[in-house]
Amino acid sequence: MKRNTYNCLLLAFIFFSLVSFGNLANASSEEISLIPLRDFFRNPEKAGYFLSPEGEYFAFLAPWENRLNIFIQKFGETEAKRVTSVTDRDLVGYFWASNERIVYARDQAGEENFHLYAVNIDGSNPVDLTPFEGVRAGVIDDLRDNDQDMLISLNKRDPRFYDAYRINIETGELKLIGENPGNIIGWLTDHEGLLRLAITSDGVNTSILYRDNESQPFQTILTTDFKETLTPVSFTYDNQRLYAFSNLGRDKSALIVFDPKTQKELELIYENTDVDVSGLLISDKKKKLIAVTYLTDKLHYHFFDEEVESIFQDLTKKIPEYELALSSVNRDENRFIIRTYSDKSLGSYFLYDVETSKLQKIADISPWIDEKYMADMEPISYPSRDGLTIHGYLTLPKGVESKNLPVVINPHGGPWYRDSWGYNAEVQFLANRGYVLLQMNFRGSTGYGRTFWTAGFKQWGRKMQDDITDGVQWLIDQGIADPKRIGIYGGSYGGYAALAGITITPDLYAAAIDYVGVSNIFTLLETIPPYWEPLRQQFYEMIGHPAEDKELLESVSPVFLVDRIKTPLFIAQGANDPRVKKAESDQIVAALEKRGISVQYMVKENEGHGFANEENRFDFYRAMEGFLSEHLGGKVGP
């Protein structure tokens, strides 16, 4: 994991504005305009702002030739210089490697074998630092105090395993500093940039390996079953102990201090009774812990530093009615780039000067989006049939009475993930077309503790699907949903859930859309990427073993249940998807066509696990819009 001041997560300063269900009627006589589809899914005008280490410049992503490229601008100047010229695919991310050099990542056509590139801020000396075919690169540590090198991971020696390397950001010269014996799934450095920790897995058991310095061999200091985890996040600033998220002896992950020499938990710093602690903010300048974050309905903070807390409070007064996220901070921590956001807006970027408390707006992300036409995303919960509480989000279309409406059920991917509150282009697009959107964090979703997460093990198509079905019934019971106009749409695991929905509950849905989803669990497990191979046994325990659980997996793999499908189906797939192979979509399309059933099938040859290219997004959502309108009766816009 790349080390970064304040642990640059998407961090929000929360206004506690829970709304009761009784306020969700959302009825209005106001005429709601149909917004052009392209406005929802075009690339942002400007996004991804990061300060240079000294704070003299900022970089950002902006479209050039319809692709997101990197631009550099000096504070006080009005013109920005473009330093990359990609035309085939948006850049997936970048960071400042020094005051003079930017490092960025990109893959080819969605295959996810990311290369690391570097370029000077004047556009000179562009270098592919990892020019290895079929190799995937990652950043272990950007070495913030070293302007020449960084630490990266590569599966160059063996596609299954990531070794650790020191790499020169000017030349790409590599030096192997940590050879993976075949079971290491992660590396961690201390605050001096020394490789001190490794995480291993045999597929079921996870171990932490530790050493006092790089001249010593790694020694195992803790081994746990993967369900009980102690996840090191950062060394303490004396480089002797670890900040870690731990659910050992507790259901919810808490922030603790762990001593690697005694193998003991020394201090419980913070825990929440309802959800896992999810993020850590530390200050390299102050050399201390600043705050932890946790996600319930929205993102919340628990602060340990009064000065930073007062800064956040000052910002919330200066920018009311929005959540705030920290985008970037310079090395001296006296300049922040802040991003606003809400459920109705991707927001804007602001520069905040700590010494003067001055706030300066830099740019709007998508200024063409008019918030008054966007719908409210409200946190909700409902009971599962066996007594669990399922949390989620309900978005109701504006301008109509919330009764007897067409619905799109939208289960998330992963499935070991969770939905959260904020602007979602898909949700707002469909709400603008007249649909109710329900997103639910079914059992197996992360963030709600170990018991809730493990309740989803081997429950694909079973209790996990029941939680989705129970959400549909809840909407019907509330009078919101028209039972004859309910559709289901999802990507990845959500695509599987859409297929499971129309095979396991074939009378429930009037339309279904599977986006890069799983149709056959056997072939999914057979074709996992080689770098997931160390986790194979874990997948077997979480999903099912193809031999030991053969009957179970057959009973919940949609490709074997196609004789039950009577719901209109639209499938979209990237040809180069390394996670859910194109064969997952091909085989269910073939099975249906064998029965004489035509399926609307979209394949994009230059995409992977989801459509990244703007023109492909336009095609997909235009087809989705027409498909849902035909079968659920929603609107079609410009």
Query: Is residue 362 within 8 Å of 372, Cβ to Cβ?
Result: no
Which three-class secondary structure state does DSSP give residue 328?
strand
Structure tokens at 202: 């045999």
- Parallel, antiparallel or unpaired: strands 115-120 and 101-106: antiparallel
If one counts every other C-beta atom within 10 angstroms of the C-beta of residue 89, the result is 18
Instruction: Output the CA torsion sign for 292, 297, 298, 300.
Output: negative
Structure tokens at 131: 């020019």
Angle at 453 between CA 450 and CA 456, to 5 degrees: 140
Look at the block and give the residue holding tokens 């079921």: 204
Query: Is residue 467 within 8 Å of 501, Cβ to Cβ?
Result: no
Query: Is residue 509 within 8 Å of 502, Cβ to Cβ?
Result: yes
If one counts every other C-beta atom within 10 angstroms of the C-beta of residue 343, the result is 20
pLDDT score at 325: 87
| Rounded Cα gap, residues 203 and 276, in angstroms | 23
pLDDT score at 5: 34
- Parallel, antiparallel or unpaired: strands 481-491 and 405-409: parallel
pLDDT score at 6: 32
pLDDT score at 32: 72
Angle at 90 between CA 84 and CA 94, to 5 degrees: 60
Query: Is residue 567 within 8 Å of 500, Cβ to Cβ?
Result: no
Phi, psi of 105 (to 5 degrees): -120, 145
pLDDT score at 20: 27
Q: Which of 596, 515, 522 is nearest to 556 (CA)?
A: 522
Whether the pTM exceeds 0.85: the reply is yes
Phi, psi of 548 (to 5 degrees): -70, -30
Query: Is residue 442 within 8 Å of 461, Cβ to Cβ?
Result: no
* Catalytic (active-site) positions: 492, 577, 609
CA 435 and chain centroid, separation? 24
CATH 3.40.50.1820 assigned to 375-632: yes
pLDDT score at 31: 59
Which distant-in-sequence residues (6+ apart) come within 8 Å of 124 by Cβ?
Answer: none
Which three-class secondary structure state does DSSP give residue 485?
strand
| Rounded Cα gap, residues 385 and 383, in angstroms | 6
> Can you spell out the DSSP letters for 532-544?
GGGGHHHHHHHT-
Identity of residue 356:
T
If one counts every other C-beta atom within 10 angstroms of the C-beta of residue 438, the result is 27
Residue-range domain boundaries for the chain: 183-271, 375-632
Average pLDDT per consecutive 10 residues, the chain (638 residues; last block may be shorter) = 34 25 36 90 95 95 96 93 95 93 95 95 96 96 93 96 96 95 95 96 94 94 94 96 96 98 96 96 94 94 94 91 90 93 95 92 95 96 98 96 97 97 97 98 98 98 98 98 98 98 97 98 95 93 97 97 96 96 97 92 97 97 98 96
